Structure 1
Amino acid sequence: MKLSSLLPFAITLAVALPSPSAGPVIGRATVVDGDTIAISGERIRLHGVDAPESWQKCEKADGSGYQCGREAAGELDRFLEASRPTRCEFIERDRYKRFVGVCFRADGREINRWLVESGNAVDWRKYSKGAYSASQDIAKSRGAGIWRGDFDLPCRARAKRAKREPSC
């Protein structure tokens, strides 16, 4: 069969098949870390928020330390479990080829916003353009999550660990 006779078929197939990153991803979400989930094998980075890393430690107001990254991931898991399935709307692919999106529980609550408002992540203005700043103000004023004590911004903690300048 000649290549020229396959070309119309290939074009038809490419147009007919949905782009793997264009539409929403819907399904049972599992937590990878405090700002990344997976649905049906697709890793989804939650857009505009930055949660503490799983290895990251924070301090409570009394000076005692705790694993804030693990806590954030656990809180996210409980939040997702309360209303399934999860639906994520595509924003872009990041440099690691992860789906970056804004996600919602079955009851309509936005997961990205909840993470910031509950103090389990910060508004990453570099990407959100301040979309979650009011939610962060709420978390700060309540002393919720990481705001109950001292912590390094996750982007700064990553930079410190890698011994490089932070880019956040």
Structure 2
Amino acid sequence: MLRLCSVLVLLLLPNLAGADIRGIVRVIDADTIDVGGIRIRLHAIDAPEIGQSCKTEQGLPFACGAWVTGQVRAMYEGRQVTCQPRDTDRHGRTVAKCAVAGSDMGAEIVAAGLAFAYRKYGMDYDLDEKSAYVADRGLHGVRVQSPAQFRQTRANGRIPPDPACRIKGNISPNGYIFHMPGQDFYERTGINEARGERWFCSAAQARQAGWRPARR
């Protein structure tokens, strides 16, 4: 009897581990949703971060991260979804393929040009991205840094956490120097707040804190 129970438990465990998640969608960003309090990262797609900017073909700044989030929210917010868990990422989020009204969310989002196929984690949406690229849909009609590169650059302290405070207060052998957007060393300068370096919202604020402007 004990042996029979053990076999039944082993048979049931895979089903429990891979149980579908069902509920109402709350959109966090273009590749992340909440369903019933569970944070879900959509499998094999990657979208711009909410604070990420792109440029139009004319070179004008474009808040593409906020835009794609708004588009995905309009498509799915408040709708019933079924998600099939695949994995757990390093942030503790459930990685899953999700469907609304029988349609794969990942496929629809990538096909609309609102995210890219994340080929590092699967080729599921490779053709969806290619069709969006050919048609210049969504992000394929603007100049956009890959979300993965953007996250790496931000992690290196090169992208401001607050877009309104973009001045870099760097500490170097030459002293406390601040770099304004457009200056020669702005892009390559990273801010390490653990060393006392800072982001400033204005040149006056930087000067008041004891930083001097970079010469070029």
Provide the C-alpha distance between the structure 1 equivalents of 2:82 and 2:62, rounded to a whole number of angstroms.
Answer: 31
Q: Give the CA deviation at 1:35.
A: 0.5
Q: Pairwise mapping of residues 86-125 of structure 1 onto structure 2 (< 5 A)?
A: 86-106=81-101, 108-125=102-119
Which of 15, 18, 22 in structure 2 is aligned with 1:26? 22
Provide the C-alpha distance between the structure 2 equivalents of 1:94 and 1:162, rounded to a whole number of angstroms.
Answer: 18
Q: Give the CA deviation at 1:84.
A: 2.5
Structure 1: which amino acid aligns with 2:58? D
Give the 3-state SS of the residue equivalent to 2:98 in structure 1: strand
Structure 1: which amino acid aligns with 2:38? E
Task: Give the match for residue 130 of structure 2.
Answer: 137
Q: Give the CA deviation at 1:162.
A: 1.1
Provide the C-alpha distance between the structure 1 equivalents of 2:63 and 2:83, rounded to a whole number of angstroms.
Answer: 27
Provide the C-alpha distance between the structure 2 equivalents of 1:143 and 1:48, rounded to a whole number of angstroms.
Answer: 21
State the identity %. Answer: 31
How many residue pairs get aligned? The number is: 148
Q: Pairwise mapping of residues 10-159 of structure 1 onto structure 2 (< 5 A)?
A: 19=16, 21-81=17-77, 84-106=79-101, 108-128=102-122, 130-159=123-152
Q: Give the CA deviation at 1:59.
A: 1.1
* 1:160 and 2:153 correspond: yes
> What is the CA RMSD across the aligned residues, in angstroms?
2.1
Provide the C-alpha distance between the structure 1 equivalents of 2:139 and 2:147, rounded to a whole number of angstroms.
Answer: 11
Provide the C-alpha distance between the structure 2 equivalents of 1:29 and 1:126, rounded to a whole number of angstroms.
Answer: 26
> 1:100-122: CA deviations, max 9, x gaps?
0001102x111011111111110
Provide the C-alpha distance between the structure 1 equivalents of 2:74 and 2:110, rounded to a whole number of angstroms.
Answer: 15
> 1:47-68: CA deviations, max 9, x gaps?
0000000010011222212111
Give the 3-state SS of the residue equivalent to 1:44 in structure 2: strand
Provide the C-alpha distance between the structure 2 equivalents of 1:24 and 1:76, rounded to a whole number of angstroms.
Answer: 22
State TM-score, norm by structure 2.
0.64
Which structure has the bigger radius of gyration? Answer: 2
Give the structure with the larger helix fraction.
1
Give the 3-state SS of the residue equivalent to 1:54 in structure 2: coil
Provide the C-alpha distance between the structure 1 equivalents of 2:135 and 2:55, rounded to a whole number of angstroms.
Answer: 16
Give the 3-state SS of the residue equivalent to 1:55 in structure 2: coil
Structure 2: which amino acid aligns with 1:114? E
Task: Give the match for residue 8 of structure 1.
Answer: none
Task: Give the match for residue 7 of structure 1.
Answer: none
* Structure with larger RCO (C-alpha < 8 A, sep 6+): 1
Q: Give the CA deviation at 1:80.
A: 0.9
